Amino acid sequence: MQTTFGARTIAPSKLEVIYEPAGRAREYAARAANLFSGCEHGCIYCYAPSATRKTRESFSRATPRANIFGKLESDLKKLSGMFIEPVLMSFTCDPYQPCESATETTRKAIKLFRKYGVPFQVLTKGGMRAARDFELYGPNDVFASTLTFIDAADSLKWEPIAAKPEDRFKAIKLAHSKGIKTWVSLEPVIDPSQTLQIIKDMHEHVDLFKVGKLNHNTLGKSIDWADFGHKAIDRLKHYGKEFYIKNDLRVYL
């Protein structure tokens, strides 16, 4: 089965920081907001530096976007009262990268979402850094995490500053235990065997799985995506989980 949370409706087009993603990003959310310029996590597979026309070094020097709260509040006033899919934070940055602990940018943004009754969803590799804000979630808000590895050494190699796998697992489990809707992004898939193990280990704590592949890296050419895709679907069906197979992977099935 394939599904997603929430529903879409027509929303004001003249927004300042909330926007409609295009291309691959559209498969994750109908609307999104990037709170930071840049990201400190240093993931070597990240597409965002090239997408934002920055070097990896300059992209890693992350800061909150200029006047982010004024612009976000203006957008949320326009969206208030509309029935929309939760707005996703974030695509070209991480809402819980290390600098957020000092700025509390995401916490302040969440409070604005709640003030205007606009649902949000967080997608992060920040692990338990995000748990501080679980108290602010409402019934239509969603917590999500990108899960790539079980092995901490592999994670350190590919995503050196992001929270380690166990920390991310802990955050998902905690959110789910508090009744917060959860989903995970199984993308990029770098080691298919670890991704399949993540499904097995985490299925009781995840409401929805979104499964993709590895792009923009030569390693992806050595992976049998048809084999992985069918195994992932079989495992998800076995556990009775809701899932979405991204278009890049679906073409192999």
- For residue 174, give its domain range: 18-250
Q: Considering the domain boundaries, does residue 194 fall inside one?
A: yes
**Residue 8 belongs to some domain of the structure:** no
DSSP state, residue 2: B
User: Is residue 167 in some structural domain?
Assistant: yes
Which regions of the chain are under pLDDT 50?
Answer: 1-10
Listed in sequence order, the residues at least 6 apart from 86 whose beta carbon sits closer than 8 Å to its beta carbon are: 5, 6, 29, 119, 120, 121, 140, 141, 142
- CA 119 to chain CA centroid, Å, is 15
35-67 residue pLDDT tens: 999 999 999 999 888 888 889 898 889 999 999
Give the CATH number of the domain where residue 164 resides: 3.20.20.70
Half-sphere exposure of 22 (CA within 13 A, CB side): 1
**Is residue 11 assigned to a domain?**
no
- Does any domain span residue 2? no
For the chain, how many structural domains are there in total? 1
pLDDT the model gives residue 23: 83
The Cα–Cα gap between 210 and 208 comes to: 7
Residues 88 and 123: beta-carbon distance below 8 Å? yes
